[in-house]
Structure 1
């Protein structure tokens, strides 16, 4: 699971929508730290269009729990990203859920909450 997450972060930094397409579930629910939620299609279109340009992603203090076909990951994440051209540093707590599907593990949920303090 940790390796899949690292591959996803790499694909985000490189705006590699082909790799992201393989890692994300068709029914993805991607909730950003500002509360806006994207589907797989809208998220990939945003990455492709440069809406988010990820410069650095660092995950800390994470916990991975496997429940049969589900993997639940929680932790802290620091993301340096240009959001619609504005340099932003995000310090968040996150919840990520992966599901084992017939074609392999796919991320189905991302939920990030900004922390007010470091």
Structure 2
């Protein structure tokens, strides 16, 4: 009986770990898609992966909603040339994921060229089958 209970415990732990790993990978995949969509101006992907209630805090202190963030890319006020994910870690809490990482961003903001490393934290919530980013906060690191 003890070996059966031990086996069940190992099986449940393995299943929970596999679920966690799968969820972490799914969130990182969405994060990569979002970065790529910002660079390529793929508005369909941005509409899908950004939550309607998004709060986007830029490293310069400016804040955007989903609508104002996408519109700033459409208008050319915000233009991303490259975003490279250097580090990332995902913590899952049920249907919520907290991502912390570092990325290298080459962009233009109102015509001013930016080439900087950012430390960021963002939050994703799983809405049905789709993970959507609902919060972003970043700060500049010394290059």
Q: Structure 1-normalised TM-score?
A: 0.94
**In the comparison of the two structures, how many residue pairs are matched?**
117
**For structure 2, which runs of at least 5 residues remain unmatched after alignment?**
1-26
1:17–1:47 CA contact under 8 A, matched in 2? no
Report runs of 4+ in structure 1 exceeding 3 Å deviation.
Answer: none
Structure 1 regions of 5+ residues with no counterpart? none
Instruction: Report if the CA contact (8 A) 1:82-1:88 is conserved.
Output: yes
Query: Which residue, out of 134, 138, 141, partners 1:108?
Result: 134
Structure 2 partner of 1:91: 117
Higher relative contact order (CA 8 A, sep 6+): 1
Q: Of the two, which has the highest radius of gyration?
A: 2
Give TM-score scaled by structure 2 length.
Answer: 0.78
Cα 1:85/1:73, change in 2 over 3 Å: same
Q: Report the alpha carbon displacement of residue 10 of structure 1 after superposing the two structures with TM.
A: 0.9
More strand by share: 1
Q: CA RMSD in A?
A: 1.1
Distance 1:26 1:53, change over 3 A: same
- In 2, the alpha carbon distance for the partners of 1:44 and 1:76 equals 22
Aligned runs of 1:1-118 on 2, under 5 Å? Answer: 1-102=27-128, 104-115=130-141, 117-118=142-143
